[in-house]
Amino acid sequence: MRRARNAKIVATLGPASTDPDVIGKLFEAGADVFRLNFSHGAHEDHRERYNILRQLEKRSGRPIAILQDLQGPKLRVGRFEDNGVRLERGQAFRLDLDDTPGNGQRVCLPHPEVFSALEEETIILLDDGKLRLQVKRAGNGYAETEVVTGGILSERKGVNVPGVVMPISPLTEKDRADLDFGMELGVDWVALSFVQRPEDVAELRRLVAGRAAIMSKIEKPAALDCLDQLVELSDGIMVARGDLGVELAPEDVPGWQKEIIHACRLAGKPVVVATQMLDSMVDSPAPTRAEASDVATAIYDGSDAVMLSAESAAGHYPVESVEMMDRIIKHTEQHSTYRPIIEALHPETEPNAADAISAAAAQVAQNISSAAIVTYTTSGSTALRAARRRPTAPLLLLTSRLETARRLVLLWGAHSVHTADVKNFQEMVQKATRMAVQEEFARQGDKLVVTAGVPFGTPGATNVLRIAWVE
């Protein structure tokens, strides 16, 4: 099942997409990666969806990537006597650790670590930024604030403190239990929420211990201050525009989105753009024109993947949402403006044989109008180098490791195939041409560019480029 596009689609599973038939239709419509959102649902719900996906993988013969998205530390206010209160601009309002129901003067904020990070004039956002408080005085377990932007505050609404690095781990006890469960299942990617600093990624990497690839979600302004380090330490990045759009001014988000994508492309790391891409399709069978342009912009910027959240998890049109995203990506990539824009960024060739071979493969493939670049990869590093170039020829990736084939599904332009490794040059060429025909990349008489590493099967040892003809 070859996709006629380079960018990939991540679809979130949820109540609207639990049935095996619906999940199968999402895959056929164009979903490449499936997200299990651990902010919702019990472990057994996720296990059932995981098993459905693995059965679908066997039936289709195509690797499917499964992304576990950890909830992270959600800061929320406590309960109210009357379920909520109206806060007026200029009034005093107290946050504290008293767990008795709140009222118009105070409410519990059951996160003692937050208070130690607050200073005078710090801004606190409530309910996705709808309400705004300014700290006037803070101490051990309390903060006296003034309401800057008022409104209705209901119980259990979210709290954001922009511009402050919170002294908390992004991994709660729930996240650790969820992670253990995800590792037991065998997920391919783990997304870490509310990353603030490089140490957060290092903590997760120690726990994962190589069993899955790590994706850092950029949704805190503090993460932007160490963006290059986070890109280097992560296997992939997600531009999580939901919380990022709460803590940043809305007009700042588009520029940062481009900067994050740019940093990932230079580093050769997959990047996903997420949140509200086709949000109106939760309730409507068609998106707004602005949403279609939003998806197209992410594709023009060179994103590896774009993500559907509520659209596929809880909306009324999950399959239609995937179909629409698939159409937008295809039309964008086929437009005459696409290649000039995508090629405006030329990553520098790194001073090593593997990167030199990947750069040469992209150039040769373009010069000879190759039907595909066939790359033998073990760890996936060769594939990352190849995709970093955004070549004009499609990428057919052959790997002997099923976990590598699954992880690479997320990668721009990649069509990964799990197959046995080769032992010599003759077998290398024969298998490359055979698989190119089998996977519908080439026909008799077509030319292929083949890259591999000698000794065969050695991770990171790409040092061979070969032009082959399909006989």
Residues serving a catalytic function are 35, 76, 217, 275
DSSP 102: B
At 115, list the tokens.
């208070």
Q: Note whether 266 and 239 are within 8 A (CB).
A: no
Q: How many contiguous H segments (helices) and E segments (strands) does the chain have?
A: 17, 21
- Which DSSP category does 240 fall into? E
DSSP summary character for residue 301: T
Please count the CA atoms within 13 angstroms of the CA of 11 that sit on its side-chain side: 35
Strand 131-139 and strand 123-126: the pairing is: antiparallel
What Cα–Cα distance (Å) separates residue 429 from each residue in 363, 381, 432, 460, 464?
A: 20, 21, 5, 19, 12
3-state secondary structure of 452: strand
What Cα–Cα distance (Å) separates residue 53 from each residue in 32, 60, 326, 397, 451?
Answer: 11, 10, 20, 21, 31
Sheet holding 462-469, edge to edge: 414-418, 395-399, 372-376, 447-453, 462-469
- Going from the C-alpha of 438 to that of each of 61, 414, 447, the distances in angstroms are 12, 16, 15
- Cα pseudo-dihedral 390, 394, 397, 398, rounded to 10: -160
- Under a CB-based contact definition with an 8 Å cutoff, are residues 390 and 342 in contact? yes
Determine how many CB atoms are found less than 10 A away from the CB of residue 443.
Answer: 10
Tokens of 354: 């593997």
C-alpha–C-alpha distance, residues 462 and 70, integer Å: 35
Buried b vs exposed e over 392-424: b needs ≥16 C-beta within 10 Å? Answer: bbbbbbbbbbebbbbbbbbbbbbbbbbeebbee
